[in-house]
Amino acid sequence: KISTAPPVIRQLDDAAINRIAAGEVVERPASAVKELVENALDAGANRIDIAIADGGKTLIRVADDGCGIRADQLPLALSRHATSKIDGSDLLDIHSFGFRGEALPSLGAVGRLTITSRVSGQDAAQIAVSGGQMGPVKPAALTGGTVVELRDLFFATPARLKFLRTDRAEMQAISDTIKRLAMAEPFVGFTLRDVSGGGEGRVTFRADPETGDLFDALHGRLARVLGAEFAENALKINAEREGFLLTGYAALPTYSRGSAIAQYLFVNGRPVRDKLLVGALRGAFHDFLSRDRHPAAALFVECDPHLVDVNVHPAKSEVRFRDPGVVRGLIVSALRHALADAGHRASSTVAG
């Protein structure tokens, strides 16, 4: 056997590290939109306007009226593992969507990213990063908040570009992402605009900020996002068990669907696709629906952040509960009660 020289171990440079991270965080245009809109929500925005061209492949622009980023902090916002949201001491104490400080550097590594921002009482400033190369902070014009513009997503990683679907399919995924976030934030206004080909574009989704108490606001927002028919058939859910709060609306069995498409689940305001929650929803409706029908619902589980680990994976919307049995029991019993109540009301109406 001929012995060969051992391979040399090299430290990768930041641009390469960020491109690798981007592969995990940014799967497709919709994941970039999710990161940018979540940043706007974390910044306390009341209005978020999203413009998309060519399914997000050539342009994603997210404008918010949130707190803004100080000019001297713009380079840090684009640096890896730099975040204003946690101090790293307690990874289970998370109250924001973001906390990893990975989204902006990742997006700047695989596309051309420009951030323009203005903090109240200060001058607006701008920074650009393209394929991982960061430019200087420059003066800019903006009345307030932050505008993040991402052009030519994946131009620096052509292999990823090849895996994207049609503009139409990517736009659909973006629209679904916005609608989920809009359900979780009924007091925030959203617009989604398709600006393919330039110009003002066409509004494809709009939800004005809702008013009233949380249930009124949520009901209004669900009518906007899921349609009036869902809202008319929706039962209010409001229950609590051992530190877990369950709120939201579930539709009567008569409004069930042929697939699980109308199931929207949130944990501490975060859209999730979680087996435990989906299973609990299914279990609650078990006696009311045949096997091929699926309940429609928008349910929100709220708890102390220490009772749930959201740190499972950046892009996959998984969570892990400290006590899954309690959460399952809460969902099943709350939904069964609501369904039984609705049944009583329906039969008493018929009776008299």
Helix/strand/coil for 117: strand
Confirm or reject binding of residue 83 to ligand ADP (CB under 6 A): yes
Tell the smallest beta-carbon distance from residue 192 to ligand ADP (Å): 17
Binding to ligand ADP (CB under 6 A): which residues in 144-173? 146
Give least dist CB 124 to ligand ADP, A. 13
The phi, psi pair for 199, rounded to 5°, reads 80, -170
Q: Which stretch binds Mg ion (CB under 5 A): 103-111, 118-126, 169-177, 316-324?
A: 103-111
Question: Which one of ligand ADP, Mg ion, none is in contact with 101 (Cβ closer than 5 to 8 A by kind)?
Answer: ligand ADP
Q: Using the rule CB under 6 A, which residue among 46, 84, 172, 233 binds ligand ADP?
A: 84
Q: Choose from ligand ADP, Mg ion, none: what does 77 bind? Cβ within 5-8 Å by kind.
A: ligand ADP
Whether the Cβ atoms of residue 69 and residue 146 lie closer than 8 Å to each other? yes
Burial grade of 259 (CB within 10 A; 0-12, 13-18, 19 or more): exposed
Burial string for 237-256 (b: 16+ CB within 10 Å, else e) reads: beeeeeebebbbbbbbbebb
Distance of CA 335 to the CA centre of its chain: 25
Residues facing 59 on adjacent strands = 53, 151
Q: Name the DSSP class of 8.
A: P
For the chain, the C-alpha Rg in angstroms (whole number) is 22
Residue 113 in contact with Mg ion, rule: CB under 5 A = no
**Residue 146, binding choice from ligand ADP, Mg ion, none, Cβ under 5 to 8 Å by partner class:** ligand ADP
- Please answer whether residues 250 and 235 qualify as being in contact, where contact means their C-beta atoms are separated by less than 8 angstroms: yes
- Interatomic CA distance for residues 146 and 215, integer angstroms: 30
Distance of CA 37 to the CA centre of its chain: 7
Work out whether 103 is an interface residue with ligand ADP (CB under 6 A). Answer: yes
Residue 83 touches which of Mg ion, ligand ADP, none (CB < 5 to 8 A by kind)? ligand ADP
Kindly indicate which of the ranges 102-110, 132-140, 263-271, 315-323 contains the residues binding ligand ADP, using the contact rule CB under 6 A: 102-110
CA distances 318 to 42, 79, 107, 272, 309, Å, are: 20, 26, 22, 6, 9
The option from ligand ADP, Mg ion, none interacting with 264 (CB < 5 to 8 A, set by class) reads none
Query: Measured between alpha carbons, how far is residue 91 from residues 1, 38, 85, 87 in Å?
Result: 50, 18, 11, 9
248 binds ligand ADP (CB under 6 A): no
Interaction between residue 39 and ligand ADP (CB under 6 A): yes
Q: Which stretch binds ligand ADP (CB under 6 A): 10-18, 60-68, 157-165, 197-205?
A: 60-68
**Under rule CB under 6 A, residue 282 binds ligand ADP:** no
| Binding span for Mg ion by CB under 5 A among 2-10, 36-44, 113-121, 243-251 | 36-44
Q: According to the binding rule CB under 5 A, does residue 105 interact with Mg ion?
A: no
* 36 in contact with Mg ion (CB under 5 A): no
Near ligand ADP by CB under 6 A: residue from 29, 55, 56, 66: 66
Which among ligand ADP, Mg ion, none contacts residue 149 (Cβ within 5 to 8 A by kind)?
none
Torsion angles phi and psi, residue 65, rounded to 5: -110, 35
List 29, 34, 51, 64, residue binding ligand ADP (CB under 6 A): 64
Distance of CA 4 to the CA centre of its chain: 50
Question: Is 253 a binder of ligand ADP (CB under 6 A)?
Answer: no
Residues at the contact surface with ligand ADP, assessed by CB under 6 A: 35, 39-40, 43, 64, 66-69, 77, 83-85, 98-104, 146
